[in-house]
Amino acid sequence: MSVDRRLALLALTAGTLALAACAHDGAAPHLKLGARPWERDVLARKSMQLAVEPALLAFDDHTYFSKEAAAGGRGFDGGGCGCN
């Protein structure tokens, strides 16, 4: 990864964090980023989890890993098998 890409990534991460911090610290209360503790019922649902069915995702990842060059993203990029 080039230095430029690293810097861009760092800036993006820092920017996202700063935005989150500003919104929650009241620097920009009109943004209302996020949910209040009493507004979390939807976020807590099974259907709203980032990995609803981990077993299905694991099967998918194993298949894609053995058929495609790209790996990782959601998690680590290792494969743990000799299929690629």
Partner 1 sequence: MQLKPGGIAATIGALAAGLVALPAAAQQQQQDAPSVAPGNAYDQSASDVDALVADSAVLYYQEDGGRVRAVEAETGLAWTGADGLAVSGRFTYDSLTGATPNGATRARYDQDFIGPLPAGGHLPAADTRTGASGAYTAPAGTLPVDPHFKDQRKAGDLGLTLPARAGFRLSLGGNASWESDYTSWSWRVGLAKDLFDKNTTLSLGYNYEHDESKPITGIPMPLGSMGDPAIGKQRIKRVDSLVLGITQVLTPAWLVQFNWSTGNSRGYHTDPYKLVTLTDRDSGDPFFYVYESRPRRRIRNSLFLASKLALGSYVTDATARWYHDSWGITAWTFGLSEHLPAGRSAYVEPLVRYYHQSKADFFRNYLLLDEPTPTYVSADSRLGAFGAWTFGLKGGVHLSDRVELYGSAQRYVQNGKRFYRDAPGTMAKVDLFAGSRSTSLVAGLRYHLR
Interacting residue ranges for partner 1, rule: CB under 8 A: 1, 5, 9, 12-13, 16-17, 20-21, 23-24, 32-37, 39-50, 52-53, 55-56, 58-60, 62-64, 67-82, 84
Quick one: 3 or 37, whose CB is closer to partner 1?
37
Give the shortest CB-47-to-partner 1 separation in angstroms.
Answer: 4
CB 12 within 8 A of CB 5: no
Report in angstroms how near the CB of residue 30 gets to partner 1 at its nearest. 14
Residue whose structure tokens are 């507004």:
39
Residue 6 to residue 71: CA distance in whole angstroms: 19
Under 8 Å CB-to-CB from 9, ≥6 apart: which residues? none
Residue 1, amino acid? M
The nearer residue to partner 1, 29 or 59, going by C-beta atoms, is 59
In the bound state with partner 1, the residue whose beta carbon lies nearer, of 9 and 28, is 9
Rounded CA separation 15/25 (Å): 15
